[in-house]
Amino acid sequence: MAFQIGAALLDACVLAVLEKRDVYGYELTVNIKNVIEISESTLYPVLRRLQKEEYLITYDRSYNGRNRRYYSITEKGRSRFLEYKYDWMEYKTKIDRIMTGEFEYE
């Protein structure tokens, strides 16, 4: 893809996945990688930052004798996601207008 994915957009994508349900780290990475090109090494710092900002929390759950770290969105994270979602829809609409030629020349 020719377009860079900025930090805010990546945050929004992570919160969007978590808004649906809690997921463990690898599953979260796979879900996002199915849509956009991203590496695990990029995603885990994002998760730590979102946790530090209190947008998500973590908990461990045993699976086949190993612990999986699950991520869960907080109420603060849900509020932030709604802000991101609104901002994205506004931004997307403006870019779509330019890309489709639906703007007025001055």
61-79 pLDDT per residue, tens:
999 999 999 999 999 999 9
Rounded Cα gap, residues 57 and 63, in angstroms: 19
Q: Is 48's pLDDT higher than 90?
A: yes
Percent of the chain with pLDDT over 70: 97
Rounded Cα gap, residues 44 and 29, in angstroms: 9
Complete DSSP assignment for 46-74? HHHHHHHTTSEEEEEEEETTEEEEEEEE-
Does the global pTM surpass 0.85?
yes
